[in-house]
Amino acid sequence: MALPPPPAVELRALTKRFGGLLANAGVDLRVAAGTIHGVIGENGAGKSTAMKLLLGLLPADAGQIFIRGERWARPSPAGARALGLGMVHQHFLLADPYTALDNLLLAEGPGRPLLLRRDAARAELRALAQRHGLEMDWDAPVASLPVGVRQRLEILKLLAGRAEILVLDEPTAVLTPLETGRLFEQLRRLRDEGKTVILVTHKLREVMAVTDQISVFRAGRVTGERRTSETTPEELAQLMVGRPVALRWAAAPGLAGGEERLAVADLGLAAVGGAARPRLSGITFSVGAGEIVGVAGVEGNGQSELIQALLHPCDRRCRTGGTVRILGREVTRWSPRAIRDLGVGVVPEDRLREGLLPARPLWENFLLGRQREPAFQRGGLLRPAAVAAAAARAVADYDVRPPALGQAAGALSGGNQQKLILARELGRAPRLILAAQPTRGVDVGAIEDIHQRLVRARDAGAGVLLVSSELEEIRALADRTLVMFDGRIVAEYPRGGATERELGLKMGGA
């Protein structure tokens, strides 16, 4: 009797520590050859770290890696290439000013002739791309290629390097639903050609759609292995979080027809760096008191620019046309501070980068943006006692843990950082809330709490603009939904007015 073929990849008890953080606490993972294998887990569950260990990008503290049944004793990036391992990183490893061709020539690595033979390489790559059904403009600088094409270039890079085992880290974050479908087709085709694909993602729907087998990560370990055909999203969610979770939750509808809180007319932001399309154009919408207006769209279609334009309308780098009215006042030429002082609360897209001073204590983070409120300063000098008292109240109110005011904000978990920001921004009783990706990277347990806080603020009369790339979030919370594509608003729906499929098509520009 023949032995079954060895797994393409096997990780045994892999352990990796970053300072005090145990990122991988004994990861065991087997990936069968010729399959698409899903790796799912929440942010910080250790999936990315495990993949970096597998690719030889980081040394493991303990544990073993086997490739096709053979022990790989000394992992390194060069060794990974030799073994046919390759990865498409979430942030593409491409250099903008260089052509697609040069980016691929680089990927050939060491041990090649010193002189570059571009013509020969171009001919070979054309043939390779044709074989796999992947189109590419080889002489265009990467900067001019759309995101989907860049991803294709990354995949071609691996194929040109004769990779047999392909790891894709969150490949769909930047893709429209349509492009995602095309990518999945491509992955199936690669599998049928005999390649092994590992798909790292946090989206349950995607692993259900395309994989053969699924491993679930939680707290640095693999907590479950399932055959895709034999599991459900609910079961996977429970494995990810460690307890049953309600995947579907919908807020009660808000009051329609409240007075205007935000009105945007023909907002625009010109193109930069040779791009053909403006980054924002013709943006017109309004948000009333007591309603949540959701902005759906694939990342990178102008949502971040929209929030920046609302916060910094007087900055030419943020807005080049149109008007912004907040609480009935034309604020287009106002300073950001004056706009905030009208009663605008901001939950920024990237907490650590835009919301907090990671190295500073909680109380100072609580004060950030509120330092000019009369309660906290007198004559330009801070009142530390008053700040500390208010911060302590807010931290208790929003259940930020641990509630140590002197502790650095960077040491909090993602969910607690977000609660601290909400405590600060909602604590001012804002009349308009701009919330961007409020639950990104937040543990599932905290998501519901954050959602309810936003709904409560709405019920208290605030207008809420909610930007999210998670369709579920938009559908659960938004009383009205705008869809953004390519810097424009391409559709508007009332609550429940569109199916996910319709939304998905609009997000892709259809």
Footprint on this chain of other proteins (rule: CB under 8 A): 18, 23, 48-49, 52, 55, 57-58, 76-78, 81, 87, 89, 93-98, 102-103, 105-110, 112-116, 311-312, 335-337, 339-341, 346, 348, 350, 353-360, 364, 367-369, 371-372, 377, 380-382, 384
- Other beta carbons less than 10 A from residue 250's beta carbon: 13
Sheet holding 21-31, edge to edge: 21-31, 9-18, 62-67, 70-72
CA–CA separation, 374 and 380 (whole Å): 10
CB neighbour class for 402 (10 Å; exposed up to 12, middle 13-18, buried from 19)? exposed
Number of residues assigned to the chain:
510
Instruction: Kindly tell me which of 359 and 510 has the beta carbon lying closer to other proteins.
Output: 359
Cis before residue 402, ω within 30 degrees of 0? yes
Shortest gap between Cβ of 433 and other proteins (angstroms)?
13
Q: Which string of b and e fits 295-318 if b means at least 16 CB within 10 Å?
A: bbbbebbbbbbbbbbbbbbeeeeb
Shortest gap between Cβ of 191 and other proteins (angstroms)?
23
CA–CA separation, 184 and 172 (whole Å): 10
Shortest gap between Cβ of 353 and other proteins (angstroms)?
5
Amino acid identity, residue 294? G
Shortest gap between Cβ of 355 and other proteins (angstroms)?
6
Shortest gap between Cβ of 246 and other proteins (angstroms)?
31
Instruction: Kindly tell me which of 94 and 165 has the beta carbon lying closer to other proteins.
Output: 94
Instruction: Kindly tell me which of 102 and 164 has the beta carbon lying closer to other proteins.
Output: 102
C-alpha separations of 350 from 5, 414, 507 in Å: 44, 11, 22
Residues with Cβ within 8 Å of residue 120, at least 6 apart in sequence? none
Shortest gap between Cβ of 360 and other proteins (angstroms)?
6
Instruction: Kindly tell me which of 141 and 403 has the beta carbon lying closer to other proteins.
Output: 141
Shortest gap between Cβ of 43 and other proteins (angstroms)?
12
C-alpha separations of 104 from 19, 99, 408 in Å: 35, 9, 43
Residue 290 tokens, joined? 């007591």
Shortest gap between Cβ of 165 and other proteins (angstroms)?
15
Interstrand relation of 321-326 and 329-330 (parallel, antiparallel or unpaired): antiparallel
Residue 80 tokens, joined? 């990974």
CA–CA separation, 249 and 229 (whole Å): 26
Query: Taking a C-beta distance cutoff of 8 angstroms, is the pair 318, 305 a contact?
Result: yes
Instruction: Kindly tell me which of 17 and 68 has the beta carbon lying closer to other proteins.
Output: 17
Query: Taking a C-beta distance cutoff of 8 angstroms, is the pair 179, 171 a contact?
Result: no
CA–CA separation, 365 and 358 (whole Å): 8
Instruction: Kindly tell me which of 114 and 252 has the beta carbon lying closer to other proteins.
Output: 114
Instruction: Kindly tell me which of 357 and 446 has the beta carbon lying closer to other proteins.
Output: 357
Shortest gap between Cβ of 271 and other proteins (angstroms)?
15
Long-range contacts (CB closer than 8 Å, 24 or more residues apart) made by 74-78: 78/109, 78/110
Residue 443 tokens, joined? 């543990």
Reference 156, options 127, 194, 185, 113; nearest CA is 127
Q: What is the DSSP letter of 141?
A: B
Shortest gap between Cβ of 1 and other proteins (angstroms)?
40
Shortest gap between Cβ of 375 and other proteins (angstroms)?
13
Largest distance between two CA atoms of the chain: 87
Instruction: Kindly tell me which of 65 and 507 has the beta carbon lying closer to other proteins.
Output: 65
Shortest gap between Cβ of 226 and other proteins (angstroms)?
26
CB neighbour class for 386 (10 Å; exposed up to 12, middle 13-18, buried from 19)? middle
Instruction: Kindly tell me which of 226 and 340 has the beta carbon lying closer to other proteins.
Output: 340
